[in-house]
Amino acid sequence: MTTRREPGNSLDQDRAATPAPVIEAKGLKKHFPVDTGVIAALVRRGPPRTVKAIDGVDVSVSSRSIFGLVGESGCGKSTLGMTLVRLYEPTAGRIFLSGEEVTHIHGDGLQQFRRRAQIIFQDPYGSLNPRLTVGEAVEEPLKIHGIGDRAERAVRVVESLERVNLQPRHFLHRYPHELSGGQRQRAVIARTLVLKPDFVVADEPISMLDVSIRAGILDLLEMLSKDLGLGVLYVSHDISTVRYVCDRVAIMYLGVFVEHGETDEVIDYPAHPYTQALMAAVPIADPTATRRRVELPGEVPTPIDIPSGCRFRTRCPCVMDICSRVAPPWQEVNPGHHVVCHLYQSSVTPTRLAKEAR
Ligand SMILES: Nc1ncnc2c1ncn2[C@@H]1O[C@H](COP(=O)(O)OP(=O)(O)OP(=O)(O)O)[C@@H](O)[C@H]1O
Ligand SMILES: [Mg+2]
C-alpha cells in the first residue's frame, strides 16, 4: 500500500523530473448537434439541442508515460480520445502537440499530425482489413503517408512486428482470420507503431480480449511507452486495470474530469464520491478484507441536459444544498491530487473523507 504523502515532500521533485507534455489540451469541448434534420426541426420545440460529450477538459500527457482515463459508459472517453487526435474537430478549447498548437490545422499540417498522433480502437477484429495480410496491413500506413521505398518499408514492417512480439517469419503472410484476438491486437499496435508516433490513444484496447491475454497487451503498452518514449492515453471503464500501467489517472463524469492525480494516490485515497463508488465496485481478492459500499442511486443523466451546479449531484450520496447552485472549483487535496467537489471546501478535511471511504 502506498504511504500517504505529506505536503512539500518528494512529489515536487517528481514534478520537476516529469518530461514536457507531448499532448496538451486546454478547455477542450466537443458538442454534437442533435435533431438538426428537417423533420426534427418541425417537431421540436425551441432551438436544436446539443450533446455535450466533452465539456471543458484540461489534460496533459507526458512522453514516456501512460495517462489513464476512467469513467462509466457514455461519459465521453472515446470522444476525448478522438478529439485529441483530431478525428473530431473541437467545438472549443486548444490542443498542443509538443508545444505546437494543432487545434485547427488542416491539409499538410493535419497529415503530418496524423503520423505523430495515433489511435488504437478496442475492436481488433474491425481494425484490420480481412483482405490484407499482416505484413500488408502494417505496411499500408507507410504507403498512405508516402514513407520510404519498398525495401525501407519492409525493414520498418519487420521492426514493428518484432516490437510487438509477432515473429515476422510466422506472421507476415497470415490473414487476420488466422490470428487469435491477442495476436490481432498486437498486429493493430504494430500498424500504429510503424509510423513512429509520439502520442497514442489506446481506447479500451483489452476490453474485447480474453482475460488471460489482457495483461500481456498491457505489459506491451507499458514497454512501448518506456522504450519508444511514447505518451499514451489509456482509456478504460475499469479502474482496476489502470493501476498496472498508468502513471497518472483522471476520472471522468458527464464530459468533465472530476478527479486526477498519480494513480496510486487516486486509487488508494479516492477523494470524489464518484471515484469512491467506482472503487467500491471493484471486487477484492482477499475474503477477510472489508470495504465500505458506496451505492450510486439513479441513472447517468443525459449529456443533452446536464444538471446545474455540480453535475454529479443527482447521484451523489453526499449531496449538499450548495451542489445544485454552484459548480465546485478544483481543489488540491494532496500535492498533485485534484478534485472538483464542495466537500473539500467545507470543514470536512480530505484526509478524513478519503480514509472513511476505504
Ligand atoms: N457522433 C456523435 N453524435 C452524437 N452524439 C455522440 C456522438 N458520439 C458520441 N456521442 C455521445 O456522446 C457521449 C459520449 O460518448 P463516448 O462514446 O465518448 O462515451 P464513452 O465514455 O467512450 O463510452 P463507452 O465506455 O461506452 O465507450 C454519449 O452520450 C454519446 O451518445
Ligand atoms: Mg468509448
- Cα distance between residue 342 and residue 249, in whole Å: 21
* Ligand in closest contact with the CA of 80: 1
> What's the order of all strands across the beta sheet hosting 231-236?
117-120, 199-203, 231-236, 65-70, 248-253, 256-262, 337-340, 330-334
Q: Is 0.85 topped by the overall pTM?
A: yes
- Does 120 map to a domain? yes
- Does 5 map to a domain? no
Ligand 1, atom 17: closest residue by C-alpha: 78
Residues 274 and 167 occupy one common structural domain? no
Residues 34 and 129 occupy one common structural domain? yes
The upper half-sphere exposure of residue 150, i.e. CA atoms within 13 Å in the direction of its Cβ, equals 0
Assign residue 75 the CATH number of its domain: 3.40.50.300
Residues 208 and 304 occupy one common structural domain? no
- Does 41 map to a domain? yes
- Does 24 map to a domain? yes
CA of 68 to the centre of ligand 1 (A): 18
Q: What amino acid occupies position 315? A: R
Residues 151 and 290 occupy one common structural domain? no
Residues 312 and 301 occupy one common structural domain? yes
The pLDDT score that the predictor gives to residue 18 is: 60
CA of 34 to the centre of ligand 1 (A): 13
Residues 41 and 164 occupy one common structural domain? yes
- Does 278 map to a domain? yes
The pLDDT score that the predictor gives to residue 126 is: 85
- Quick check: CB of 88 below 6 Å from ligand 1? no
Print pLDDT tens along the chain (358 aa). 333 444 333 334 444 456 679 999 999 999 998 876 777 667 766 777 899 999 999 999 999 999 999 999 999 999 999 999 999 999 999 999 999 999 999 999 999 999 999 999 888 788 899 999 999 999 999 999 999 999 999 999 999 999 999 999 999 999 999 999 899 999 999 999 999 999 999 999 888 888 888 888 899 999 889 999 999 999 998 888 898 899 999 999 999 999 999 999 999 999 999 999 998 877 666 666 655 555 677 778 889 999 999 999 999 999 999 999 999 999 999 999 999 999 997 544 444 444 444 4
Residue to probe by mutation, ligand 1, list 28, 51, 72, most atoms within 8 Å of CB: 51
Ligand 1, atom 29: closest residue by C-alpha: 74
For residue 34, give the ligand 1 atom closest to its CA. Answer: 4
- Quick check: CB of 305 below 6 Å from ligand 1? no
- Cα distance between residue 92 and residue 26, in whole Å: 9
Residues 192 and 70 occupy one common structural domain? yes
Residues 171 and 277 occupy one common structural domain? no
CA of 76 to the centre of ligand 1 (A): 6
- Does 4 map to a domain? no
Beta bridge partners of 257: 252
Question: Which of 221, 247, 268 represents a domain boundary (last residue)?
Answer: 268
Question: Which of 238, 268, 298 represents a domain boundary (last residue)?
Answer: 268
Residues 90 and 153 occupy one common structural domain? yes
Q: Cβ-count burial of 229 within 10 angstroms (0-12 exposed, 13-18 middle, 19+ buried)?
A: middle
- Quick check: CB of 160 below 6 Å from ligand 1? no
Stated length of the chain: 358
Q: Give 70's contacts (C-beta < 8 A, 6+ positions apart).
A: 77, 236, 237, 238, 239, 242, 249, 250, 251, 252, 278
- Cα distance between residue 93 and residue 219, in whole Å: 33
- Quick check: CB of 122 below 6 Å from ligand 1? no
CA of 65 to the centre of ligand 2 (A): 21
Residues 87 and 123 occupy one common structural domain? yes
- Quick check: CB of 310 below 6 Å from ligand 1? no
* Ligand in closest contact with the CA of 302: 1
- Does 196 map to a domain? yes
For residue 235, give the ligand 1 atom closest to its CA. Answer: 22
Residues 35 and 146 occupy one common structural domain? yes
Residues 277 and 205 occupy one common structural domain? no
- Quick check: CB of 237 below 6 Å from ligand 1? yes
- Cα distance between residue 202 and residue 153, in whole Å: 24
Domain boundaries, position 114: 13-268
- Does 7 map to a domain? no
- Cα distance between residue 122 and residue 120, in whole Å: 7
Ligand 1, atom 11: closest residue by C-alpha: 53
Domains identified in the chain, total number: 2
Residue to probe by mutation, ligand 1, list 77, 87, 207, 302, most atoms within 8 Å of CB: 77
Question: Which of 213, 245, 268 represents a domain boundary (last residue)?
Answer: 268
